[in-house]
Amino acid sequence: MGSVVLVTGVARQLAGRFVRRIQREPAVDRVIGVDVVRPEHRLDEAEFLQADIRRPTIARVLAEHAVDTVVHLDVSGTPFAARGSRSAIKETNVIGTMQLLGACQKAPGVRRLVVKSSTGVYGAAPRDPAVFTENTPPKSLPGGGFAKDAVEVEGYVRGFARRRPDVAVCVLRFANILGPCADTPLAEYLSLPVLPTVFGYDPRLQFVHEDDVMDVLRLASLEPRRSTLNSGTFNVAGDGVLLLSQAARRLGRPTVPLLLPAVTWVGSALRTVGMTDFSPEQVRLLTHGRVVQTTQMRETLGFEPAWTTAETFADFARSRGRGLLPPEILARTVDRLAAALPGPRSEERTRHG
């Protein structure tokens, strides 16, 4: 018999797509998708159970269906209309994870646990290292929002791993997920007609393509060839980085540099009218940026992304259409302005005649 895989949060597009993908694997016998609301997208041959992972009933689901693999994707920072406010999202992220892990601990048949996390656990601060590894402690822990939820979730997962050493536990810290179907807060921000930026800052950003997200989740969920594979915590991101200014130019979207208090105010206004979830943690990301090392992803997990950061962003940009300004015209204009402004080299030439 093949594996019985339970996937949480299947009403969301990302988890729904993974359900459709994983059931095609020969090693998988059954796939069970759970969520508090019925998904609007198809799940093909997977069985859907309307269940709330915040309730003890999830333990009965694991036992009744003899689940051996749990893929926990119901950890998200994106508001979901059917689930209400930010407090409800936090409750699902944190309390839901606690309840799910408690159920897994009592289920002797569970042999594999995969948890979706985020590189947001490293925070974003002015004194951050140039590159984070999985073992780099953050300079300042996230003070709220999804990043703080992810930190708490990972803490509970580590506790579970100590109590159940017989279970292979894999935590995937994804960089910002982009692609044609991306519905993340950063994707919403990059879709604005004009991008508010923090004056004096041009952060470095990393992206991972939604196709690569499917591939790495599949790899982490299947029985590995070696016992050491598919266990541990892994940064997942495409090669390379993009500056925010480069991203704006490639989108053809003008930027409006604002002082940090003004950016915070604009973010609050956009969040109030529902245009984008411009949270304080996203403002910090757009100020200081974040870059992670992916050596462990390649050498231990054995995963090689098919998309680089630049290719991921290009695919996202194509899906969003042309911005207010053609990218090539915007790029030429920015280059001319930069050449006209006095800089260190022009000042040096002036001093030396």
Model pLDDT for residues 161-200, shown as the tens digit of each residue = 999 999 999 999 999 999 998 888 899 899 988 999 999 9
The two tokens of residue 172 are 């995937």
Q: How far apart are CA 188 and CA 190, in angstroms?
A: 5
Across 43-52, 158-167, 251-260, least confident range:
251-260
Across 150-154, 212-216, 263-267, least confident range:
263-267
Evaluate if residue 226 carries a pLDDT over 60.
no
SS3 letters across the chain: CCEEEEEECCCCHHHHHHHHHHCCCCCEEEEEEEECCCCCCCCCCCEEEECCCCCCHHHHHHHHCCCCEEEECCCCCCCCHHHCCHHHHHHHHHHHHHHHHHHHHHCCCCCEEEEEEEHHHHCCCCCCCCCECCCCCCCCCCCCHHHHHHHHHHHHHHHHHHHCCCCEEEEEEECEEECCCCCCHHHHHHCCCCEEEECCCCCEECEEEHHHHHHHHHHHHCCCCCCCCCCEEEEECCCCCEEHHHHHHHHCCCEEEECHHHHHHHHHHHHHCCCCCCCHHHHHHHHHCCCECCHHHHHCCCCCCCCCHHHHHHHHHHHHCCCCCCHHHHHHHHHHHHHHCCCHHHHHHHHCC
Evaluate if residue 353 carries a pLDDT over 60.
no
If one compares 143 and 94, the residue with the highest pLDDT of the two is 94
Q: How far apart are CA 300 and CA 158, in angstroms?
A: 19
- How large is the C-alpha radius of gyration of the chain? 22
Evaluate if residue 328 carries a pLDDT over 60.
no
Evaluate if residue 83 carries a pLDDT over 70.
no
The identity of residue 298, as a single letter, is R
The identity of residue 19, as a single letter, is V
- pTM above 0.85? yes
What pLDDT score does 349 carry?
34
Using CA atoms, how far residue 142 sits from 17, 78, 277, in Å, is 29, 17, 17
The two tokens of residue 186 are 């950063």
Are the C-beta atoms of residues 309 and 239 closer than 8 Å to each other?
yes
